[in-house]
Amino acid sequence: MGKVWLVGAGPGAADLLTLRAARVIASADIVFHDALVQPDVLALASRARLVDVGKRDGRHSTEQRFINRAIVEAARTHPVVVRLKGGDPMVYGRAQEELDALAAAGIATEVVPGITSALAASASLGISLTRRGAARHVAFVTPRTGAGEAASDWLAAAASADTVALYMASRQAPAIAAALVGAGRSPATPACVVENASLATERIATTTLGALAGHSPLALEGPAVLLVGEVFREARAARPNLPWTPAAQSGSIGPERRLLAGR
């Protein structure tokens, strides 16, 4: 039996991987990776067979039960198996299903954390999610539910938290903003959408819940996180309007970061 490592690939930029993640990826015999893992991260797996098991919104995706089965079978023939997930495996990464399947098969596992997209987005904005005196609590929520799952009570958490990070929500951002206003949040509450956080293609849009609720669906080119709360008022003042402002003009990614990232 081999060992399976569930590794967080972070938000995108390869130099945001942890040292442990980079070491494990480099030692892998086979890597099962998400669709959004960047090529320069996959390049670290120089001796491994790469298997794309990504889930793509609106397109054909690999079912979770097949992923579970493939990882278990791989561990029976490969010493080092890596399941490479965008962001952090334990934050909306469906890690628990895979851990349970591996445990049932008696296969050793270890999780290597990664930077989740909400934290990368707040870093790009230069805004603390828990700014002292302004935000005592943060909610990570998603309105999305899978087939056969019970409806999520995400709205109650999102309506009451000082700061909210909404995952897998940006394509429905106008409807979500309207729901938050309907649940009692002020229409003047700042909202930010950060797309491709940490990458050279990062884009940031700022607005308010009221304006977002009346906006047309956002044209997105990559994964995005929706951030809501009074802590983002300064970001709103610096970047006042939808639609998107290119990252190179917004200042969210300076030349020094592109240099450090090798871009």
Cβ neighbours for 223, distance < 8 A, ≥ 6 positions apart: 36, 86, 117, 195, 196
90 is catalytic: no
Cα–Cα dist 56/118, whole Å = 20
Q: Do 102 and 6 touch, CB atoms closer than 8 A?
A: no
Structure tokens at 230: 């009074």
Cis amide bond preceding 246, omega within 30: no
User: b/e string for 152-185 if b means 16 or more Cβ within 10 A?
Assistant: eebbeebbebbbbbbbbbbbbbbebbbbbbeeeb
Unique residue bearing structure tokens 């309506």:
159
40 is catalytic: no
3 is catalytic: no
Q: Phi first, then psi: what are they for 120, rounded to 5°?
A: -65, -40
Question: Residues 55, 57, 90, 162: which is the catalytic one?
Answer: 55
Structure tokens at 133: 């005196």
Cα–Cα dist 226/224, whole Å = 7
Amino acid at 69: R
* Catalytic residue numbers, as ranges: 34, 55, 168
